[in-house]
């Protein structure tokens, strides 16, 4: 598993691992931190995103993801 973004919200641990191969962004919830995780929900489907990070600001959650170098719209 690459780039697991792990965060704590309301005393519960969550993880968003790299799941580009599934064309989704998945949210997992820990059932026994840090060893056991259960899929809570697919946040996005039919997307190929890398290294998803969550940023929470004033109660709103933002997904921050880098653009793939092969598909970048700027010089890499």
Per DSSP, 68 falls in state P
- Going through the chain in order, the beta strands assigned E by DSSP cover 5-9, 12-16, 24-32, 36-45, 53-57, 60-64
Domain holding 51, by residue range, is 5-67
User: Does residue 26 belong to any structural domain of this protein?
Assistant: yes
Question: What is the pTM assigned to this prediction?
Answer: 0.82
Question: What's the token pair of residue 36?
Answer: 């056991």
Instruction: Average the pLDDT over 35-50 and give the result.
Output: 92
User: Does residue 59 belong to any structural domain of this protein?
Assistant: yes
* Beta carbons within 10 angstroms of residue 60's beta carbon: 7
Domain count, the chain: 1
Tens digits of per-residue pLDDT, 9-31?
A: 999 999 999 888 888 999 999 99
User: Does residue 73 belong to any structural domain of this protein?
Assistant: no
Residue 62 has pLDDT above 50, yes or no: yes
The backbone torsions φ and ψ at residue 31, rounded to the nearest 5 degrees and listed phi first, read -105, -15
User: Does residue 42 belong to any structural domain of this protein?
Assistant: yes
Helices (H), the chain: none
Q: Provide the pLDDT for residue 32.
A: 97
């Amino acid at each position: 598993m690459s780039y697991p973004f792990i965060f704590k919200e309301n005393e519960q641990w969550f993880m968003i691992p790299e799941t580009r191969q599934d064309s989704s962004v998945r949210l997992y919830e820990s059932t026994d931190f840090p060893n056991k995780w259960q899929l809570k929900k697919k946040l996005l489907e039919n997307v190929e995103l890398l290294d998803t990070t969550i940023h929470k600001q004033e109660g709103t959650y933002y997904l921050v993801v880098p653009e793939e170098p092969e598909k970048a719209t700027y010089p890499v």
